[in-house]
Chains A and B, each alone.
Chain A
Amino acid sequence: MERYYQPEIECASQEQIRAWQSERLVKQVQNVWENVPMYRKRMEEKGLTPADIQSVDDLRKLPFIDKDDLRDQYPYGLLARPLKDCVRIQSTSGTTGRRVVAFYTQHDLDLWEDCCARAIVAAGGTNEDVCHVCYGYGLFTGGPGLNGGSHKVGCLTLPMSSGNTERQIQFMTDLGSTILCCTPSYAAYLAESILERGVRDQIKLKAGIFGAEAWTEEMRHDIEEKLGIKAYDIYGLTEISGPGVSFECSEQTGMHVNEDHFIAEIINPKTGEVLPEGEKGELVFTSITKEAFPLIRYRTRDICVLSRKKCSCGRTHVKMSKPLGRSDDMLIVKGVNVFPSQIETVLMNQGYAANYQIIVDRVNNSDTIEVQVEMTPEMFSDSLGAVAKKEKELVSGLKAMLGIYANVKLVNPKSIARSEGKAVRVVDKRNLYK
């Protein structure tokens, strides 16, 4: 039996969801018009006033904002409420330049925790569960978000934070943790450590909620098998609230976006045009219930697909795929969008190492794409035919994934240029943007 945290919302009709979205969007636009100078200026530049936004259908009239805007407006520029109404900040783990700081009112925290609670219940959580949270606590949203959601569900919450694997396993066995919340890579590491110590039969885990980084289906199966659990994906970003913007249900075929709080759109990253359901493009979010730090049409740079196919779990909110790549990395070859992550997926599926380089060129006014892959001992054989066959399989695999022909070139190990230890993934010789 599927259980829900807020069934009347999570299983509402599509019409009801749209009605909520329209009503909240109209209010939110009025709110930012009155309280955030940057939004007002951007709308005025497009000749818009709040009166132009009457429903969700008008959303596409509004301008986008992106991470650069957030950095420019640091720290208080996008605040829509007086500071005295704010009770918390969280921040991104940005590696370069200024950080992004997001503000929350008590109401904002409350709704965010509801979103996380929905994810925990979708993973089978009840007030009988012991929820082991080893996302980082602090400025990072992972720990605080799941911690709050876990409280709402009524789980016994273990605020472990990250690191100290020895202690993690000890608490897990002594206190009988049943739900594990952490990054997928840490879950994989914990699984290894548990098997190494031979304490697999002493853990009671039944589910894991893993997010904050990209992971593959293979990784999911590996973790599920090693820990004997069901592993659920969760997605979020600090700018929008944190984890719980969307989450996976029992079907494990995509993450339901909490559409009563966030409107998701997919756009063509080059033109900004809104794409129809099912097409791959950049994910854009509008937070319609946020009080302190509302974002209108925020470009996430994540490449996704949305689906409104009926879900077997009973939830009606739109599902998003795992991010398939970053729009910053997107290449257009022969008019087709190509993401390095797609190529990487094919390589991994066929047993190659992720040491590759994509070379795009233009010969006689026609685009060419070549994938250079480092040979591995596992893929090698003394038979020319056997190696050539594998190479052909790779060509067909790439064709199936990308929709265009990519030339494959097998190269020696360690021959792909690395700068500061990091491989250069794409060499575009066309100079299209110069």
Chain B
Amino acid sequence: MCDWCEKYGDGYERWYFNPANYARRLYKIRKEEAVASGAEANPQAAGGMAFVGRDFIEARDRGDIAEVERIKQQTEGAMWLTHFGQVLTLEEAHKITDIMYPISLISCACRRSMEGLPDEENFTCMGMGPGMYKWERWPDTYRGGVHFLTPDEAKEVLSKLNKRGLVHSIYTFGTPYLGGLCNCDYPDCAAIRTVVDLEIKILWKGHYVAKIDPELCNGCASCIHRCQFRALSFNPSRNKAYIDQFQCFGCGLCATECDQEAITMVERASLPALANVW
């Protein structure tokens, strides 16, 4: 079972369907976060959101496995208490818009950092829960302002971003308080690139795993570009898409693109070898 559902699910099917996790005591993490995770003292100066510092990259470069493990565990431990995410399917993201309020469309800090995008082209991130009511305290985090959305508007925005190829995920701000519904891609999203490139689990895999039906797949390859996690490739020998299910993060972007319905999203818990692969 997913650790977070076990700890914070309280009888709900998923921890992020438990309304209590959107309404807990507001977080106080801004200061501690950077120090605890071993990133540069000013994470913004380190480039938006660097979760680890140069010491980690250097340890990896010289093959110092013990040091890599040490920093990795220290970073994960700190981030799991304060700020980490889990991948969602579009259906799950839609469902969340019905159980929490308010929800707002905001500019994306990661893409501001990595693309230098002007705010008006950068409304891809969502902030939610009572924490949003104090957004004016942090005008820099919310550059370009905040659009509060109705649940229906939020679903529409999520569907559009899904079409564009962005991965949905949910983030804590002082675990288990859930405050971010993010829509992201590799490598500009700090969380996706940290988990994919550095294998530090800032982002947990979701509750589903994609599975190909080789009988239904016609080899059109139109799903291949949708994967942001290096789990999906094309197999010329069989003329079919190939999914590495151990690498799949369960975002469902490939499945929503396949008009042959050759990809289904299977419950992770139903696959013994994958049930604990997060």
Q: Do A and B originate from a single complex?
A: no
